[in-house]
């Protein structure tokens, strides 16, 4: 290692200690929301590789080397880019890929289930990449935005669907679940061990949520699916929601409080006799 860029021991959010250059110059991001964060921290040319799902910012999506998808990385392309730091996520990347890469490169992993975890990740990545001041400022702005968010006064129960055929919902221990709670929405599937439980139409009907939210990603729910859900839960309000807002845990969180405020203003409790 170049003496001008010595290694330093860093602990990631999975409690792994890795050796990282003090000023990494060839960074690969394996997670879309963290790619956007790296851009917003001003890392520019220091990011040499991203995934095919890293659509923000558009300029990077068009110009950066792509190293496969989050669940199916192209290890040969990653090796060819000679990274001195790889940034991934426990949930979004496959364990086998991360283990293989960790044998050759410094791999820093996030593990995010709450807003607090996300803010911690932002600050740690800032410190690791020499952009700590920018990261602290960003985390503070996000935290202040959520502090000003007014959740529903009368809590509603909600189901948040992320997939169709079969239906799948965001469950316990997910970042989406934490976002729902901050909105004053009680997740009807916040139970059991399945983070993303598979559901039958009967499961959804029996859960009987006050509102059903259909995410725009990873499954692209659209207006045409509203009638389908209404057949299962007649009379229940159904909304298409921005999946990036609910699940991207990097700098995209700057936009979340305002979006949630608008969403909540359009939700009304069921009429009480």
CATH number, domain with residue 68: 3.40.50.1980
Q: Is 160 inside any structural domain?
A: yes
Mean pLDDT over 39-58 rounds to 97
Q: What is the pLDDT of residues 221-269, one digit of tens each?
A: 999 999 999 999 999 999 999 999 999 999 999 999 999 999 999 985 5
Which residue segment(s) compose the domain that 228 sits in?
A: 156-265
- What one-character-per-residue DSSP string does 194-245 give? -SS-EE-HHHHHHH--SEEEEESSSS---GGGHHHHHHHSTT--EEEE-HHH
Q: Is 231 inside any structural domain?
A: yes
**pLDDT of amino acid 98:** 98
Same domain, 141 and 185: no
Mean pLDDT over 9-23 rounds to 96
Same domain, 98 and 201: no
User: 110, 145, 180: which is the final residue of a domain?
Assistant: 145
Same domain, 16 and 141: yes
Q: Look at residue 14 and give its three-state secondary structure.
A: coil
Same domain, 131 and 246: no
Q: Is 1 inside any structural domain?
A: no
Confidence of residue 4 (pLDDT cuts 50, 70, 90): low
User: 145, 169, 187: which is the final residue of a domain?
Assistant: 145
Q: What is the pLDDT of residues 59-95, one digit of tens each?
A: 999 999 999 999 999 999 999 999 999 999 999 999 9
Alpha-carbon span 182 to 93, nearest angstrom: 26
Residue 1 has pLDDT above 90, yes or no: no
Same domain, 226 and 199: yes
**pLDDT of amino acid 27:** 98
**pLDDT of amino acid 272:** 40
pTM over 0.75: yes
Residue pair 108/12 in contact (Cβ under 8 Å)? The answer is yes
Q: What is the pLDDT of residues 100-127, one digit of tens each?
A: 999 999 999 999 999 999 999 999 999 9
Same domain, 117 and 50: yes
Same domain, 60 and 170: no
User: 145, 175, 201: which is the final residue of a domain?
Assistant: 145
**pLDDT of amino acid 161:** 98
Same domain, 26 and 127: yes
Cβ neighbour number for residue 156 with a 10 Å cutoff: 19
Q: Is 150 inside any structural domain?
A: no
Same domain, 184 and 59: no
Q: Is 23 inside any structural domain?
A: yes
Same domain, 169 and 107: no
**pLDDT of amino acid 44:** 95
Q: Is 151 inside any structural domain?
A: no
Q: Is 270 inside any structural domain?
A: no
Same domain, 184 and 207: yes
Q: What is the pLDDT of residues 170-221, one digit of tens each?
A: 999 999 999 999 999 999 999 888 999 999 999 999 999 999 999 999 999 9
Beta bridge partners of 11: 17
Same domain, 177 and 134: no
**pLDDT of amino acid 3:** 55
Count of structural domains, the chain: 2
**pLDDT of amino acid 268:** 56
Q: Is 272 inside any structural domain?
A: no
């Amino acid at each position: 290692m170049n003496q001008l860029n010595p290694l330093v021991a860093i602990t990631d959010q999975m409690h792994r200690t890795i050796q990282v250059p003090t000023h990494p110059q060839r960074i690969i991001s394996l997670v879309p929301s963290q790619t956007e964060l790296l851009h917003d921290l001003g890392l520019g040319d220091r990011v040499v590789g991203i995934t095919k799902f890293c659509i923000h910012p558009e300029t990077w999506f068009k110009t950066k080397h792509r190293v496969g998808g989050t669940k199916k990385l192209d290890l040969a392309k990653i090796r060819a880019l000679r990274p001195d730091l790889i940034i991934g996520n426990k949930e979004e990347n496959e364990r086998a890929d991360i283990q293989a890469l960790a044998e050759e490169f410094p791999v820093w992993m996030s593990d995010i289930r709450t807003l607090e975890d996300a803010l911690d990740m932002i600050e740690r990545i800032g410190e690791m990449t020499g952009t700590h001041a920018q990261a602290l400022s960003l985390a503070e702005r996000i935290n202040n935005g959520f502090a000003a968010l007014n959740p529903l006064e009368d809590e509603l129960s909600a189901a948040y669907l992320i997939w169709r055929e079969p239906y799948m919902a965001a469950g316990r221990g997910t970042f989406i679940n934490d976002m729902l709670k901050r909105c004053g929405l009680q997740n009807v599937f916040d139970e059991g061990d399945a983070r993303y439980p598979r559901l039958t139409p009967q499961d959804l009907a029996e859960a009987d949520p006050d509102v059903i939210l259909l995410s725009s990603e990873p499954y692209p729910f659209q207006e045409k699916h509203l009638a389908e859900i209404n057949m299962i839960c007649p009379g229940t309000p159904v909304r298409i929601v921005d999946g990036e807002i609910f699940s991207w845990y990097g700098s995209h969180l700057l936009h979340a409080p305002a979006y949630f405020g608008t969403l909540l203003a359009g939700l009304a409790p069921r009429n009480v006799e």
